[in-house]
Amino acid sequence: MRNLLRPIFAAAVTALLLMSANVSSDAVAAARPSAFDGKWSVVIYTLQGDCDRSLRYSVRIIDGRVQAEDQSYQAAGLVASNGAIRVVVAEGGRMASGSGRLIGNNGRGEWRTSTGECAGQWTAVRRAADY
Amino acid sequence: MMKHTARTLCATATLLWALLIPATAPFQAALAQGLGKPTVTLARPKLVTQARAKQQPSTSPPPVASKQKELPPRTPFTAAEDAASTIAGIPEARFWADSESDFQRALPAPGPWLVLSSGGEDGAFGAGLLAGLTAAGNRPDYAVVTGVSTGALMAPFAFAGPRYDDALRKAYTEVSAADIFEAGSSTGESFVNSWPLKELIAKQITPELMADIAAAHRSGRRLFVVTTNLDAERSVVWNMGAIAAHGGEDAIKLFRDVLLASAAVPGAFPPVLIDVEANGKRFQEMHADGGIGGQFFVAPAALMATTSDYRLPATQLYIVVNTGLERDFKVVDRFAPSILTQAVGAAVKVDTRMMLSLSYAVAKRSGVGFNAATIPASFNAPSQGAFDPKYMGLLFRTGYEQGRGATPFSAEPPPYPSGPSRQPSHIEKTGANQ
């Protein structure tokens, strides 16, 4: 089951990213070191809906791909060379997507749940690898 | 016995979170509970719960970016070494919370005592209450201030006086969950990383504040913060004024570390390792939330016992309870975090109520005025997640109005809620209870 779900999740996320992001398919295939690689701390602000007013998450970017830092949630996304980013986050069967831009060691953008129940903004800052 | 049971339950439940639950929801529950807010409404967990029902039991987490960083092994030490350990250069920094002699030696001349309880984000109540007391001109220079968990975080401001009321207000109304913890970065010791709180404490505990605390200490007043030495399973009282008076970079670091440790809910937040030495040997003790040993601290347990004839050398005892004590009825989801949240919430309330009763008895036998401020039962503002600034602002305002009012404190512990006086009518009708 585990092995089955993973590729389904990955394929769905990749398709979603390609359809909706300003990130080219070349970027998907690239898988090479990105200027934005590293550990990032993302703060999510809810501006609409009955979700937590704010939460901070840790994510890691490796070769331009966004990944969860631990197993408490699932994340997948892509960062283009110009910093455009598109991410899908899943937690406990619930999914949200976000988009925006990274510039240097900072970033910001918008997010919304797949159901449209909640939406808001996010900011991000790059952190040291270990803290 | 019951008190002990409640504490054990609290600690056990918190640890269970760490062991059982592979989702982000529990850390919020743990924070809400461990830091003493038992009835927080969590929007996301509610949705997580709904979604979980649809999940296949065999679903396992996807690959993660990196393996969890392996933590370095700890330097071994014995119970005897730990019992004799001190802070290098600051031997007066602390004493065991069960040491009657050390406690009595550390006390100042009689005066009013202020006791600040655990309560997480509900510390906004205590912050508002203190500001309200200031506004009413009813804020003495407390001879002793003690703090546990969130009470520890507010204690330095409360001790330093009304000059820091605005800093205290900001600390409890202008922060959010993002300023307290980071999810998705479990440390191996905890579900979440508390580096945001560590940074927040570093900003709040300024050299200026340290100097004011040191001056108050030199004048004879005392500021005590409680942590739990997990290695020894013993509470530790930190003489924060003595640490501040010592001065220097090591002292301010220790001061901040103690505050972080006092609010380090085990399983949710990482514990804090504190450098000590014993007989020339250096090692680190593991310290965590002071609430493990009780939701607030008045005196060593043996002195508080009903069998003791110890008299508190205080003129008045003021206890600020930063957690709701009313029952929080809800049909509990069949979901581990929901079950543990409700269980720990109930345990914290029981523990707090019993400690209030005990403190009342000690104050009475000591001829000391008993004063308890609790969150009004009527306060029921919704909370949109953990550390919701809007919720905390409303609770601050509630505390402020109470502090500014005619009766900010009650002369007795709050009455226990009574249960239903009669069986449900359908049982009576059917005779099902016969």
Smallest CA-to-CA distance from A74 within A47, A92, A55, A56 is with: A92
Classify residue B110 by its DSSP letter.
Answer: S
Distance from CA of A63 to the nearest CA of B (A): 11
Smallest CA-to-CA distance from B192 within B25, B65, B49 is with: B25
Smallest CA-to-CA distance from A89 within A118, A63, A129, A48 is with: A118
Pick B185's closest partner by Cβ from A1, A58, A91.
A58
Q: If you average pLDDT over every residue of chain A, what do you get?
A: 81
Q: What pLDDT does residue B50 have? A: 29
Q: What pLDDT does residue B352 have? A: 97
pLDDT grade for A38, boundaries at 50, 70 and 90: very high
B382 and B391 Cβ atoms separated by less than 8 Å: yes
Interior angle at CA B402, CA B396 and CA B407, nearest 5: 160
Smallest CA-to-CA distance from A88 within A24, A11, A29, A3 is with: A11
How would you class B356 by CB atoms within 10 Å of its CB: exposed for 0-12, middle for 13-18, buried for 19 or more? buried
Pick B22's closest partner by Cβ from A41, A71, A130.
A71
Smallest CA-to-CA distance from B268 within B194, B202, B347 is with: B194
Question: Do B183 and A57 lie within an 8 Å CB cutoff?
Answer: yes
Q: What pLDDT does residue A94 have? A: 82
Q: What pLDDT does residue B421 have? A: 56
- Evaluate if residue A13 carries a pLDDT over 90: no
Q: What pLDDT does residue B340 have? A: 81
B129 and B399 Cβ atoms separated by less than 8 Å: yes
Give dist(CA B48, CA B235) in Å, integer. 36
Question: Do B55 and A53 lie within an 8 Å CB cutoff?
Answer: no
Q: What pLDDT does residue B9 have? A: 34
Q: What percentage of chain A's residues is helix, strand, coil (to nearest 5)?
A: 20, 50, 30
Give dist(CA B30, CA B358) in Å, integer. 27
In this prediction the pTM is: 0.83
Over range A15-44, report the average pLDDT: 67
Question: Do A56 and B177 lie within an 8 Å CB cutoff?
Answer: yes
Residues in B closer than 8 angstroms to A2, CB to CB, are: 58-60
Residues in B closer than 8 angstroms to A3, CB to CB, are: none
CA atoms within a 13 Å half-sphere pointing along the CA-CB vector of B232:
22
Q: Assess: ipTM above 0.95.
A: no
Over range A59-73, report the average pLDDT: 91
B224 and B216 Cβ atoms separated by less than 8 Å: no
Tokens of B160: 């330093």
Q: What pLDDT does residue B70 have? A: 81
B370 and B412 Cβ atoms separated by less than 8 Å: yes
Q: Which residues pair with A110 in a beta bridge?
A: A99, A121
Fold of A2-22+31-130: Lipocalin (2.40.128)
Over range A26-51, report the average pLDDT: 84
Give the contacts of B373 (CB within 8 A, at least 6 positions apart): B125, B126, B129, B318, B319, B320, B321, B399, B402, B403, B408, B409, B410
Instruction: Kindly report the length of chain A.
Output: 131
Q: What pLDDT does residue B53 have? A: 29
Smallest CA-to-CA distance from B255 within B225, B235, B230 is with: B225
Task: Give residues 167 to 206 of B whose Cβ lies within 8 Å of A.
Answer: 176-178, 181-186, 191, 193, 195-196
- Evaluate if residue A4 carries a pLDDT over 50: no
Site of tokens 């109304």: B173
Q: How far is Cα of residue A49 from the mean position of the Cα atoms in its chain?
A: 20
Distance from CA of A76 to the nearest CA of B (A): 10
Tokens of B417: 């809620």
Which sequence spans correspond to the domains of chain A? 2-22+31-130
Chains A, B: CB pairs < 8 Å: 132
Give dist(CA B148, CA B158) in Å, integer. 13
Higher pLDDT, A12 or B323: B323
Tokens of A119: 């939406």
Distance from CA of A22 to the nearest CA of B (A): 24
Per the rule left: phi > 0, alpha: psi between -120 and 50, beta: everything else, B220 is left
Question: Do A51 and B61 lie within an 8 Å CB cutoff?
Answer: no
Question: Do B384 and A9 lie within an 8 Å CB cutoff?
Answer: no
HEC profile of A7-54: HHHHHHHHHHHHHHCCCCHHHHHHCCCCCCCEEEEEEEEEEECCCCCE
Distance from CA of A24 to the nearest CA of B (A): 23
H-type helices in B21-164, by residue range? 25-34, 43-52, 79-84, 100-106, 123-135, 150-160
The CA distances from residue B416 to A75, B58, B76, B352, in Å, are: 47, 45, 46, 11
Q: What pLDDT does residue B422 have? A: 56
B98 and B247 Cβ atoms separated by less than 8 Å: no
pLDDT grade for A110, boundaries at 50, 70 and 90: very high
Taking chain B (434 residues) in consecutive chunks of 10 residues, what is each chunk's mean pLDDT? Answer: 33 33 36 36 30 31 52 95 96 97 97 97 98 97 98 98 97 97 90 95 98 98 98 98 97 98 94 97 97 97 97 98 91 86 90 97 98 95 93 98 98 84 47 36
Higher pLDDT, B11 or A42: A42
Give the contacts of B287 (CB within 8 A, at least 6 positions apart): B227, B228, B229, B230, B236, B258, B261, B262, B264, B271, B272, B273, B274
Pick B385's closest partner by Cβ from A52, A74, A94.
A52
